[in-house]
A and B are shown apart, each in its own frame.
Chain A
Amino acid sequence: MRDQGRWMMRLWRHGRAPMMVAVALPLVSGLLLVGQAYLLASVLHRAIVVGASPRDLLTPVLAIAGLFTIRIALAVAAERCGTVAAERIKLSLRTAFHADLLDHRPDWTAARSSGALSSAIIDQVESLDGFLVRFLPAMAQAAILPLAFAIIVLPVDSVVGLLFLVTAPLIPLFMALVGLGAEAASRAQAEAFARLSGLFADRLRAIVTLKLFGRAESEIQTVRLASDDLRLRTLAVLKIAFLSSAVLEFFAALGVAGVALYVGLTYLGFVDLRHSALTLQFGLFCLLMAPEVYQPLRLLAANYHDRAAAKAAVAELARQFDALPDFAAPEGVEPPTSIANLAAPIAVDMNGISLRTPDTSRLVMDDAALLVPAGRHVALVGESGIGKSTLLEAIARMRAYEGTILLDGQDLARIAEPELRTRVAFLGQRPRLFHGTIAENIRLGRRHASDAEVHEAARRAEVLPFATALPDRLDTLIGEGGIGLSGGEAHRVALARIFLRDPGLILLDEPTAHLDTETEARILDALMDFAAGRTMIVATHSAAVAARLDRVYRIVGGKVLPGPHMRAARPAPALESVA
């Protein structure tokens, strides 16, 4: 917790120069305010006591206007610098968190709620804005200005100066006491907010299903209850937080009232604590300064929740990302520790492999072994949920594993990332289509592929039959998650990416799920053609796929067993009725 606080207080350094200006200028402006009040008191004094004419007072009145103008200019400059600094800091934070996310293995992201993660990067980082733009400058002002004002007033009237000196530092003390409670409550609120965001994302994704099952009413209720829960939590935070503003209001009112009564009674002669007579000018000056002494503190109080919100946001960020990014170290992945190139077809040798489910509670693979010689084409079969996908992901270095996996005799863990990704192609079971055109999505395979190459990949993956019927053909926009394409169509677009690459090892997870027999057969032809001279491991439920490969392995009880006689490979009696 203390580390988080320190991390937060160090944030300003990433916008050093503008942030320093943003903090310093209001202090200068505060000192000019003293001059302004002094002049104003003197003008009033001369008008009221001396009876000066407006013409006599023109110069000091213009001077007041001048000071006022300068203070406005300072405020504009300070705010501008504050915003520039804050945006710079938030941008570097977002980039760092996003990079951190991508640097993890996919099983790390898979184990987290995407709604909560995106809310952390977008919303929680935004929650730092108030802290950077408002709280930090306000903190500097609150620390310096009340004391400075009190010291300036001290020679004018020692009693008023002492009154300021004593009440002003008491305020932060009280507010800190009040703030402690507010902070704990506000952390709870940030958690509730993240959960709520996750719940919304989840229920939105399912909204059609919920509607069809007639769950509209009860889900609206769920959302309402969650929102109400958030309201109660937030209000609990605020009720305490507002106590601090009441405390402050109490002292500010006490300050003004105290000065007015003390100075008034001095004039009336009921109080006599001074050696010399107090002029109206100095009396008014004290009264004018009274609200100003408390103003920086009031500003700090108004922005106090910015700090609480920022703290809560930092805690949430630390929770979502396990750690806060350290800016001192250059970002990016460790430089590769690697070694020689991987050969054209890559041999895979696994020993003592143990794999767990993402929540690490269940053992999926238990001390399993598998040897796939270079250039061999192998099917992995087994009941759904038995661990085929998990095993493929381990070979693709997408998740943690125990044991050794050797690619061409080299330890998978030590192969450089770029080398591994160039030479190993992987198609997961739930490939993601990004927002963009079909062609752009296929180009994920190779960014600089020519239009002809993309077209050819699309043809091999059987994308063309449906794409040519679309208004913009391969340039048709497909949405997030592939909205607008059927499951089978989306899968084929993802498959086309593979054809743009030149891997030595191809890892495919259910490449023909969602496909009818004819399309499946055509895609298999293209795949077998492409896989010549490469190693290929395919996890599949399809008898047709398994039948085309060199060898079939069966996963049973956490082991990989040679299964040349897979049952599914035999055509079921009724198969012909379809074919």
Chain B
Amino acid sequence: MTAFWFFRPLFQRHAARLAWTLILSVFTLAAGIALVSVSGWFLTAAALTTAAASFNLFGPSSLIRGLSFIRILSRYGEKVFGHDATLRLLADLRGWLFASLFPRVPLADRGLRHGDLVSRLTADIDALDTVFLVAIGPMLAALLLGSAMATGLWVFIPAAGLSYAILVGLAVLAVPVVLILASRRMGKELVEASAAARIAVLDGIDGHADLIAFGETATARASFTNSAARLAGVRRRLAMAGTLAAAATQALAGAAMISVLWFGIAAVHAGTIGGPLLAGLLMGTIASFEATGALVRGVARLGVSAAAAARLKAISTARPMVVDPVRPLPLSNGDVRFEKIVFGHDPRRPVLRGLDLHVKQGSRVAIIGPSGSGKSTVLALLLRLYDPQSGRISIGGADIRTVALSDLHKKVALLSQDSPVLLGTIRENLLIGRADASDAAIWRALAGAGLADFVLGLPEGLDAFVGETGRTLSVGQARRLCLARTLLSPAGILVFDEPTSGLDREAELAFLADLDKATAGRTVILATHAAMPAGAADHILRMVDGRLESA
């Protein structure tokens, strides 16, 4: 529950709308109670009156009409305000979560899987979002109206007021608390079960070809059915908790009604109140349960929201792998130096063991070596995706830990092995490298990556849409698109991780031969297992046992 507090600032931005929602919903409920009370009172009074001519008809009848209209209008307003606020909150939450993820990637927790993350961003935020509308708002409204009703009853029939206060108080406060405590664990389970089912589906989609090739679709089916059945089981239990809580609320409301009736009859019999008043109060009591009835369904979802909030809080407060310096120093051009670098994702298994590297400004260096030997790691360190356990990396003499990350990323552009093609047009994909690139620059980059002819041949050209993970492109074309994106970037240092994987030897040779022209005097570091044609690189270094040697 405390995780909600963390999101307070986001809710506060919409405080006015949320307050209006609450006020309007109280108006709606109060008008409903008043309408029925006045009707009951009026009807009974009319039945008992002996002098019809002197009966004040105008007051009650105009009150009844007025209350009807208040109820209709405030009901509509309450709904529109409430949902508007909720949806604004939803947009804010999504943007906020995305913003808080950026400084934290790559996430330290390697167990955070893609399907799980997607589930967090959508389902968790949806769950958190409805907290006010379906849980907190109705609870506050029920509390306010319950107090008002109890006070009203207490004025006329003190015993009824007291019992109403106790019973409805239990319904509004105790039942939700018990339900929250009981459903908290289930809520967490539900979010997990739902994420697991989603991952099972994603495994089936992304691994479809593999499953079919190995005739293992039955296994995938069984494993999905398992996770879906688990999801159904958790949902059933959660729903049962809600059902029982609703029954408890109804029972308490029923008891409150009976007690008002009982003490009311006694009061009428004793002559302390009149018959019309009893009819009015009893009808009002029954109408006041409209507020408590809506409560439980919302509270049942509070547990789900709390689990979602806790997960969102955890991911958005995770310590970033690297931190920006407080007072960043400027970064200038110059040589790249790695000095005595020791690094391993698992510090007990260092991949780099005292690595040294010196790349002169404007020169091209190739790093070769077996896969898994740490070539990619060297490149990632230069971009501070991680910090080394010991040693120092500098550009133009400035330790990269002393400069702003954004400056570093402007200076160094990386083509990683798993560089993605984004959902969008070819142009949009390229502009990620440089937002203000001219068409001429775009075509130059495409030519450098050997993709210009292909794009020219497309009917939509640069505006051709490429699908998820670039599936309408071949692997080689997707790779070249990412390559073009990196070439387009204005960075002075270009870092390529296996730039030619997925390309055939001819295209590879062509790319490496043109590297000189395409990178035009910029510093280039590339990690590759490709055979380097003569002249493609100024130096070729080999990764051996966590260090670099001249090849």
Q: Which residue on B lies nearest to A428, using beta carbons?
A: B209
B483 nearest CB across to chain A (Å) = 12
Choose among B239, B346, B534 the residue with the greatest number of A CB atoms under 10 Å from its CB. Answer: B239
For A263, what are the chain B residues with a Cβ–Cβ distance below 8 Å?
43, 46
Give the nearest-CB partner of B212 in chain A. Answer: A106
Say yes or no: A102 contacts B208, CB within 8 Å. yes
Q: Please classify how large the interface on chain B is, using the bins under 10, 10 to 19, 20 to 34, 35 or more.
A: 35 or more
Contact A202 B251 (CB under 8 A): no
Complexed CA–CA distance, A447 and B228 (Å): 22
Across the interface, do A518 and B370 meet the contact criterion of CB distance under 8 Å?
Answer: yes
Q: Is A213 a contact of B531 with CB atoms below 8 Å?
A: no
Judge whether B391 is part of the interface by a CB distance below 8 angstroms.
no
In the complex, whether B19 has a CB less than 8 A from a CB of chain A is no
> Known interface pairs A199-B423, A200-B122. Does A238 touch B540 (Cβ–Cβ under 8 Å)?
no
Contacting pair A578 B368 (CB below 8 A): yes
Nearest CB to that of A114 among chain B residues? Answer: B205
Residue of B nearest to A237 (CB): B83
> Which chain B residues in 251-265 approach chain A with CB under 8 Å?
251, 254-255, 257-258, 261-262, 264-265
Supposing A83-B239, A98-B204 touch, asked if A283 and B47 sit within 8 A by C-beta, the answer is yes
Q: Are A49 and B275 in contact (CB under 8 A)?
A: yes
Contact across chains for A384 and B476 when beta carbons are under 8 A apart: yes
A76 at the interface (CB under 8 A from B): yes
| A249 CB–B CB distance under 8 Å | yes
Q: Which of A78-96 contact B (CB under 8 A)?
A: 79-80, 83-84, 87-88, 90-91, 94-95
Q: Determine the distance from Cα of A239 to Cα of B216 in the docked complex, in whole angstroms.
A: 48
Taking a contact as CB atoms under 8 Å apart, the answer to whether A102 and B55 are in contact is no
Residue from B217, B232, B376, B472 in contact with A87 in the complex, judged by beta carbons closer than 8 Å: B232
Q: A207 contacts which of B75, B102, B423 (Cβ < 8 Å)?
A: B102
Residue of A whose beta carbon sits closest to that of B268: A47
- Which of B203, B209, B474, B508 has the most A CB atoms < 10 Å from its CB? B209
B69: which A residues are within 8 A, CB to CB? 253
Q: Which residues of chain B have C-beta atoms less than 8 A from A52's C-beta?
A: 265, 269
A574 touches B532 (CB 8 A): yes
A212-B414, A267-B46 given; A429·B475 CB < 8 A: yes
Whether the Cβ atoms of A383 and B52 lie closer than 8 Å is no
B354: min CB distance to chain A, Å: 18
Task: Pick the residue among A101, A428, A480 that contacts B115 (CB under 8 A).
Answer: A480
Q: Which of A204-248 contact B (CB under 8 A)?
A: 204-216, 218-220, 223-224, 227-228, 230-231, 234-235, 238-239, 242-243, 245-246
Contact in complex: B503, A541 (CB < 8 Å): yes
Contact present for B246 and A79 (CB under 8 Å): yes
A338 interface hit (Cβ, 8 Å): no
Which of A345-353, A403-411, A414-422 has 4 or more CB atoms under 8 Å from chain B? A414-422
B356 within 8 A of A: no
Q: Which residues of A contact B75 (CB under 8 A)?
A: 245-246, 249
Tell me how far the C-beta of B42 lies from the nearest C-beta in chain A, rounded to whole angstroms.
5
In the complex, chain A residues 104-125 whose Cβ is within 8 Å of any chain B Cβ: 104-106, 109-115, 117-119, 121-123
A200 touches B121 (CB 8 A): yes
CA distance A118 to B39 in the complex (A): 53
Does B91 make an interface contact (CB < 8 A)?
yes
Shortest Cβ gap from A550 to chain B (Å): 20
Task: Select one of A202, A261, A265 contacting B423, CB under 8 A.
Answer: A202
Q: Are B503 and A114 in contact (CB under 8 A)?
A: no
Other-chain residue from A113, A207, A215 in contact with B432 (beta carbon distance below 8 A) = A215
Residue B175 CB within 8 A of the other chain? no
- Check A473 for interface membership: any CB of B closer than 8 A: no
A48 touches B278 (CB 8 A): yes
Q: Which residues of B contact A230 (CB under 8 A)?
A: 87, 90-91
User: Are A421 and B212 in touch, CB under 8 angstroms?
Assistant: yes
Given known A-B contacts A235-B84, A246-B72, A114 and B468 have beta carbons under 8 A apart: yes
- The answer to whether B471 has its CB under 8 Å from any CB of chain A is yes
Chain A residues with CB below 8 A from B255, complex form:
65
Q: Flag whether B347 is at the interface (Cβ < 8 A).
A: no
CA distance A109 to B201 in the complex (A): 11
Specify which chain A residues have a CB less than 8 angstroms from the CB of B236 in the assembled complex.
Answer: 83-84, 87
A-side contacts of B220, CB under 8 Å: 102
B265 touches A47 (CB 8 A): yes
Cβ contacts under 8 Å, A106 to chain B: 208-209, 212
Are the C-beta atoms of A231 and B88 separated by less than 8 Å? yes
Residue among A52, A209, A234, A579 facing the most chain B CB atoms (10 A cut-off): A209
Interface residues of A in 401-450 (CB under 8 A from B): 417-418, 421-422, 425-432, 434-435, 444-445, 447
A90 to B231, CA, bound (A): 10
Q: Which of A83, A90, A101, A358 contacts B240 (CB 8 A)?
A: A83
**Helix, strand, loop or mixed for chain A's interface?**
helix
Contact of A489 among B102, B228, B372 (CB under 8 A): B372
Q: Which of A2-10, A322-330, A452-460, A509-517 contacts B (4 or more CB under 8 A)?
A: A509-517
Residues of B within 8 A of A359 (CB): 472
Query: Is B108 among interface residues, defined by CB-CB distance under 8 A?
Result: no
Cβ–Cβ contact A260 & B202, under 8 A: no
Contacts of B216 in A (CB 8 A): 444, 447
A342 located at the interface, meaning its Cβ lies under 8 Å from any Cβ of chain B in the complex: no
Q: Are B123 and A479 in contact (CB under 8 A)?
A: no
Centre residue among B52, B68, B244, B372 by max chain A CB count within 10 A: B372
The answer to whether A69 touches B423, judged by C-beta atoms less than 8 angstroms apart, is no
B94 cross-chain contacts in A, Cβ below 8 A: 200, 223-224, 227
Q: Tell me the complex Cα distance, A65–B258, Å.
A: 7
A44 and B504 within 8 A (CB): no
- The reply to whether B232 and A91 contact each other, CB–CB distance below 8 Å, is yes
Q: Does B183 contact A (CB under 8 A)?
A: no
Instruction: Give the nearest-CB partner of B57 in chain A.
Output: A268
A21 within 8 A of B: no
| Residue A184 CB within 8 A of the other chain | no
Kindly report which residue of chain A lies nearest to residue B95, judged by CB atoms: A224
Bound-state Cα–Cα, A339 to B510, Å: 49
A382 interface residue, CB < 8 Å from B?
yes
Kindly identify which residue among B47, B88, B208, B229 contacts A109, using a CB–CB cutoff of 8 Å. Answer: B208
Contact of B76 among A102, A196, A242 (CB under 8 A): A242
Most buried by B among A113, A213, A250, A573: A213
Judge if B98 is at the interface, Cβ distance under 8 Å. yes
Known: A204-B118, A264-B43, A268-B55. A486 touches B371 (CB 8 A): yes
A363 touches B (CB below 8 Å)? no
B427 interfacial contact with A, CB 8 Å: no
B211 interface contact, C-beta 8 A: yes
Q: Are B243 and A80 in contact (CB under 8 A)?
A: yes
Inter-chain CA distance A421–B225, complex, in Å, is: 23
Query: Closest Cβ of chain A: how far from B368's Cβ, in Å?
Result: 6
> Would B275 and A486 count as touching, CB distance under 8 A?
no
What sequence of 0s and 1s flags, for each residue 40-71 of chain B, a beta carbon within 8 Å of any chain A beta carbon? Answer: 10111111110010010100110011011101
B269 lies within 8 A of A53 (CB): yes
List B residues 204-225 near A (Cβ within 8 Å).
204-217, 219-221, 224-225
Residues of B within 8 A of A228 (CB): 91
- Which of A137-145, A147-155, A166-174, A284-292 contacts its partner? A284-292
Answer yes or no: B13 CB below 8 A from chain A CBs.
Answer: no
Nearest-neighbor residue (CB-CB) of A101 within chain B: B204
> B117 within 8 Å of A by Cβ?
yes
Contact A205-B287, Cβ < 8 Å, known A69-B251, A238-B80: no
B97–chain A nearest beta-carbon distance, Å: 9
Beyond known contacts A87-B236, A102-B212: 17 more, CB 8 A cutoff: A54-B269, A94-B224, A101-B201, A101-B205, A212-B385, A257-B39, A257-B65, A259-B39, A265-B57, A283-B47, A291-B287, A422-B215, A426-B209, A480-B114, A494-B210, A541-B504, A577-B540
User: Can you give 24 contacting A-B residue pairs, CB < 8 Å?
Assistant: A49-B47, A54-B262, A76-B243, A101-B205, A109-B205, A110-B471, A111-B471, A118-B115, A118-B198, A203-B422, A209-B419, A213-B409, A219-B98, A256-B35, A256-B64, A257-B64, A260-B38, A264-B45, A267-B43, A382-B504, A384-B507, A489-B372, A567-B505, A578-B368
The 8 closest A-B pairs by CB, nearest first: A384-B476, A488-B371, A48-B275, A432-B207, A260-B39, A421-B215, A253-B68, A227-B91
